[in-house]
A and B are shown apart, each in its own frame.
Chain A
Amino acid sequence: MNTIPPPPRQARRIAIGSRPGRSRLDRSNLSRWDLKLSPYLYISPFFLLFFVVGLFPIVYTAVISFMDWDLVRGRGTFIGFDQYAYVLGQPKFWVALRNTFSIFLLSSVPQLLLAILIAAMLDQNIRARTFWRMGVLVPYVMAPVAVALIFSNMFGDKYGLVNTTLDHLGIAPIPWHSNAFWSHIAIATMVNFRWTGYNTLILLAAMQAVPRDSYEAATLDGAGRIRQFFAITVPSLKPTLIFVIITSTIGGLQIFDEPRMYDQYGTGGANSQWLTITLYLYDIGWGQWNFGRAAALAWILFILILLIGVINLFVTRRVVRDEGSGR
């Protein structure tokens, strides 16, 4: 049911953007200006604000990253690429880079697999579908900080739920904080908890866009459900998967809230076990108050995101092209 009434018949013959009817010549001058100018008036509030709070800071970050910024005087002196060289020369940066990628992979790969599986279940002819769909989205409304607090408690080394349960089963407790790998698992679990349902719904939408007759035809051809899933469903998910992978890369490499809240100090662990790039950026900027270095690190992060985005695009283009020629 569309709320928009059907347009009057005579209107259809006039192309958009053409001159108004001849009977209205007296107003045509005014309405020509109206037509020409008004689009710019509509986009200008957005762009004006966007330039001030969105674009200016990006450009200015680049400027600051080439400076030794003096906080007291609010000015900087130009020093070329020194800040970049400093950041890249810090062992901590490379640890943070490793941690960020490790957490990113541990959160995105299982998450995508799980999301595809759950979406396939939701795509069945189930009862109470709205209930289940809402159910998977429940974690999404909780703030990452809140999620992190709950899971930090459950992954506590001494009294945490996970280790207590393991103890009951006679398994040795896991060093969730002192060991880098296990701390990444714990942090990735927080990310997975909050985002799996969200991505499930995106993939579900893509699955529902697959024509149902394809499945019926496959059934007639004798293909089982599992075969149908891999032969029909998964290939048609590709564009959506690319979308999900790119957005989760942009988000995943920026991770801050969860590692920041993983213990009460928020510094990424005594040996930087779960220090991420953004956590490091915060420490440089608002712990050491060195804005030039923080700006340089921000640009390094941006370049990393762009690089991975380009690699993603390159890989997926090839995959998609193969897919196209195979048909």
Chain B
Amino acid sequence: MNAMPTEPHVSEPRTETELISTLSARRRPRRLAPRGVPGSRPRWFVYGVLGVVLASALFPYYWSFLIGSGDSFTIRDPEMSWLPGGNFLANAAAVVNDPAVGFWRALGNSILSSGLIALSVVAFSTLAGWAFAKLRFRGSKALLVFVVATMAVPTQLGVVPLYILFSEMGWTGSIGAVIVPALTSAFGVFWMTQYMQQAVPDELIEAARIDGASSFRTFLTVGLPAARPAAAMLGMFTFVTAWNNFFWPFIVLDRSDPTLPVALSLLQSNYFVDYSIVLAGVLLSTIPLLILFVFAGRQLVSGIMAGAVKG
């Protein structure tokens, strides 16, 4: 092991539990044991491959900035420059001011729906996950298996009745029809159950009970603080998924009152497609998530890696 002999040896997280405890200790500088032959640094080709991967991950962003900062002629220009033009703000303004797109309404709808959905999924999942992970009750196993099984059910299976239901209620076209069906998530319950099983020691619950705490108080003082890191990750994933969701909002929303992806789809459905404006709109609609990524990308990475090991 070549990583600083003076450091106390902290091994690479091996199991989900270890991974998760690594995640919850965010402040601690992580010294992970190196991999492979002791003492060997990877050769240049590793960085070469990773460099290519990173470049292709970023290229579409750059391409849309390149086209989005030009004019309608840029894409047809055989001598097209690889440096951005100066029209991005003008194109972005064209997107924002297009009455057929309704950008500000779309942005407001996306923020409102994704935020509410994330909050509600986290709340319901934490509560149910706590019960499934740490409390004993009749039928808990069967109910949990049932919840997990429904994760295989495609969205498409529900859209026809939901549409009929909402149109009878007069909700079609309103953002509520996007929010309500997404308020719960089977994945969320599964995720929180998995996490709490490992993160909360049973002894702590017993101790709270001995002290005379009611069941709900135990949840508030023991369960909730322990659940925080997993709840934050679940919230982020739910937010990103809801923000990017297209199929159901596209079906149920009016073109005049869309979410951002629905609004984006309108940019292209015109008879004449001006890609400088379409791709400026694409970037504009991605900026909020890019900001989220800058601040929380590290946690997204840990979340994906922590959730993965269960196989």
Contact = CB atoms under 8 A, between A and B. Distances in A.
Tell me, yes or no, whether A binds B: yes
Interface of A: 1-4, 7-8, 10-12, 14, 16-17, 20-21, 24, 27, 31, 34-36, 38-40, 42-43, 45-47, 49-50, 53-58, 60-61, 64, 74, 117-118, 121-126, 129-130, 132-147, 149-154, 156, 159, 161, 164, 193, 197-198, 201-206, 208-209, 211-212, 215-216, 219, 225, 239-240, 242-243, 250, 253-254, 256-257, 260-261, 264-266, 278, 281-282, 285-286, 291, 294-295, 298-299, 301-302, 305-306, 309
Contact of B297 (A40, A134, A285): A134
A143 B206 contact: no
Q: Chain A binding site: helix, strand, loop or mixed by DSSP?
A: helix
Contacts of B37: 215, 219, 225
B207 A8 contact: yes
Contacts of A136: 53-54, 57
Contacts of A146: 261, 264, 282, 285-286
B86 interface: no
B127 A46 contact: yes
A130 B301 contact: yes
Interface string B154-168: 111111111111001
Given A150-B64, A216-B38, 15 more contacts: A10-B210, A34-B214, A39-B140, A50-B150, A60-B160, A145-B265, A146-B286, A159-B76, A208-B14, A215-B37, A250-B154, A254-B154, A291-B160, A291-B163, A302-B153
Interface of B: 11-15, 19, 21, 24-25, 27-28, 32-38, 40-42, 46-47, 49-50, 53-54, 56-58, 60-61, 63-64, 67, 75-76, 78, 124-125, 127-128, 130-132, 135-137, 140, 143, 147, 150, 152-165, 168, 180-181, 183-184, 186, 189, 200-207, 209-210, 212, 214-216, 219, 225-226, 240, 243-244, 246-247, 250-251, 260-261, 264-265, 267-271, 273, 275, 278-279, 282, 285-286, 289-290, 292-293, 297-298, 300-301, 304-311
A16 B205 contact: yes
Contacts of A205: 19, 304-306, 308-309
B157 A294 contact: no
Nearest to B47: A126
Contacts of A266: 265, 269
Contacts of A137: 293, 297, 300-301, 304
A142 B301 CA distance: 15
15 contacts: A2-B24, A14-B206, A42-B127, A47-B143, A61-B157, A74-B164, A117-B49, A137-B304, A143-B264, A145-B264, A146-B285, A161-B63, A243-B311, A291-B164, A302-B157
A201 B63 contact: no
B311 A240 contact: yes
A152 B36 CA distance: 41
A50 B184 contact: yes
Given A42-B131, A143-B260, A282 B251 contact: yes
A71 to B, nearest CB: 9
Contacts of A265: 269
Contact of B46 (A121, A153, A260): A121
B57 to A, nearest CB: 5
Contacts of A198: 304
A164 B76 CA distance: 10
B60 A147 contact: yes
Given A125-B40, A126-B47, A138 B309 contact: no
Given A7-B201, A7-B204, A43 B132 contact: yes
Contact of A264 (B226, B240, B268, B301): B268
A54 B269 CA distance: 32
Nearest to B67: A153
Nearest to A200: B53
Q: Which of A117, A205, A286 has the most CB of B within 10 A?
A: A205
A250 B152 contact: yes
Which 8 residue pairs of A and B lie closest in terms of their CB atoms, listed nearest first? A57-B158, A239-B311, A7-B203, A125-B34, A202-B308, A60-B161, A38-B215, A205-B305
A21 B204 CA distance: 16
Contact of B124 (A2, A45, A58): A45
Given A144-B244, A212-B33, A57 B157 contact: yes
A153 B279 contact: yes
B210 A197 contact: no
Contact of A61 (B46, B131, B158): B158
A143 B207 contact: no
A28 B232 CA distance: 36
A198 B147 CA distance: 24
Contacts of A40: 131, 137
B283 to A, nearest CB: 8
B131 A39 contact: yes
Contacts of B216: 38
A64 B161 contact: yes
A10 B162 CA distance: 54
A107 B189 CA distance: 29
B152 to A, nearest CB: 6
Contacts of A193: 56-57, 60
A42 B128 contact: yes
B285 A3 contact: no
Nearest to B219: A42
A21 B150 CA distance: 41
A157 B199 CA distance: 54
Contacts of B75: 153, 156, 159
Contacts of A201: 301, 304-305, 308
